[in-house]
Amino acid sequence: MKALFIGGTGIISSGITRALAENADWELTILNRGKRAMEVPENVRVWTGDIDNREAVEKLLEGQFFDVVADFIAFTPEQVKRDLGYFRGKCGQYFFIGTGSAYQKPLMSPVITESTPLKNPYWQYSRDKIACEELLMAENRSSGFPVTIVRPAHVYYERMMPFAIGGDTEFWQVICRMRQGKPVIVPGDGTSLWTLTHNQDFAKGFIGLMGNIHAVGEVVQITTDEVLTWNQIYRLSAQALGVEARLVHISSDFLIACDPSLEGPLLGDKSVSVMFDNSKLKRLVPGFHAEIRYDQGVRRTADYVLSHPEVQIPNPEFDQWCDDVIEAHSLGMQSFIARHPRKYL
């Protein structure tokens, strides 16, 4: 069977690419800009190009048919409309990568199924993903376009340690703070529940849906069943680094006041307790279960990151921001206590 991935070397997609490269049932082609060419397995065909270059892409697709097309870098309705133009009649199944952050905020219940309403007033990223899903499902109903929507929720891998703040881009600076004995910021009181899925586990669920006729026209979330608090996540991460975490708990509202761009990632996502029900995935992919506990996965990440200087990207501005926020929070508490000393004798 033939598959085409748009992207294929990111946090979510790289695990699937590696797994398919070892799967004799699949012949994989990836289309991307070639910035991570060294990370692509040798037996995966690479088309180097820009998905937005219509003339070049249509030339590549001429005479081609893929059993599966998966776009890992489609984020807006305009990009989905572009894909519909490319892949109508050229694929047996089209995968759109949604997001667990699309579910309603605040949640009516922390247990999330695929039928949980979609609504996120805090994050444009999530609203765009919702709009993409609506467009694709309407296309499925009107023309039979063979779409499968998958919803991941905070996937991590060996090149990135996941944190509530700075997990994707400034994670190395958080690691540095931990190793230097400096305090690290945890939103809220650290007891909200969260789910972290290793990309190898996500890949198993995803591949089980590829070419699966029962998944066409369906929405399926793919996560681990393991649920942790943010306090546990930070402490397990520190243990993997061989240090003890110094946690400073600061409310999400305070953090957003210090950096408004955090409103979506916090109020629209990571400060909300979530537990994902994977019953639908397990019905569609019998035998699926996530195998990598976070304490195991984060040790792999720590070993990789500490031994690969190319992923150790310092961010002194983020480091200073953390220091400034922690100082402002501490001064605020001290000021209040000074004005009301009798309560704190």
Strand pairing report for 247-250 and 184-187: parallel
Distance CA 15, CA 222 (A): 14
Each residue of 47-67: pLDDT tens digit? 999 999 999 999 999 999 999
Distance CA 118, CA 52 (A): 28
Which residue ranges of the chain lie beneath pLDDT 70?
36-38, 343-345
Burial class (CB in 10 A: 0-12, 13-18, 19+), 188: buried
> For residues 155 and 203, is the Cβ–Cβ distance under 8 A?
no
Burial 248-263 (b: 16+ CB within 10 A, else e): eebebeebbebeeebb
Strand pairing report for 228-229 and 193-194: antiparallel
Q: Is the preceding peptide bond at 106 cis, omega within 30 degrees of 0?
A: yes
* Residue at token pair 């190009």: 49
> For residues 121 and 105, is the Cβ–Cβ distance under 8 A?
yes
Specify the 3-state DSSP secondary structure of 92: coil
Distance CA 40, CA 24 (A): 17
Helical segments of 62-170, H only: 77-87, 124-143
> For residues 266 and 256, is the Cβ–Cβ distance under 8 A?
yes
Helical (H) or strand (E) element with 330: helix 316-339
Residues 6+ away with beta carbon under 8 Å from 69: 3, 4, 5, 6, 83, 87, 90, 91, 93, 94, 95
The domain ranges of the chain are 93-334
With CA atoms as reference, report the closest residue to 131 among 71, 69, 75. 75
Helical (H) or strand (E) element with 75: none
Superfamily of domain 93-334: NAD(P)-binding Rossmann-like Domain (3.40.50.720)
| Ramachandran area for residue 188 (φ above 0: left; ψ -120 to 50: alpha; else beta) | left
With CA atoms as reference, report the closest residue to 221 among 153, 308, 286, 297. 153
